[in-house]
Amino acid sequence: MKSYREIISIQKGKRGGKPCIRNLRITVYDVLGWMASGMSKELIIEEHPDLTKDDLNACLSFVADRERVLASA
């Protein structure tokens, strides 16, 4: 599996500088919202075929890493 750093990027002019998946306009927060609402990874990929399981796992890794940084501050 790729590191989330290879999948998640933040670009100032894209989606208000929110972390996005690859060159898509889908944010980490979009994915987390879908998961929180009960969507399975399979359903998310079915509804957004540009996404992969690696992309979804990268979102979770990104947020976990960000939480670790905040918790240690």
Residue 50 CA to residue 64 CA, distance in Å, equals: 23
Q: How many domains does the chain have?
A: 1
CATH of the domain at 30: 1.10.10.10
Summarised one tens digit per residue, pLDDT across range 2-54 is: 899 999 999 998 899 999 999 899 999 999 999 999 999 999 999 999 999 99
* One-letter identity of residue 4: Y
Distance of CA 64 to CAs 9, 14, 26, 49, Å?
16, 23, 18, 24
How much is the pTM? 0.88
Range of the domain at 12: 4-72
- Is the model more confident about 73 or about 46? 46
- What do you get for the CA distance between the two ends of the chain, in Å? 28
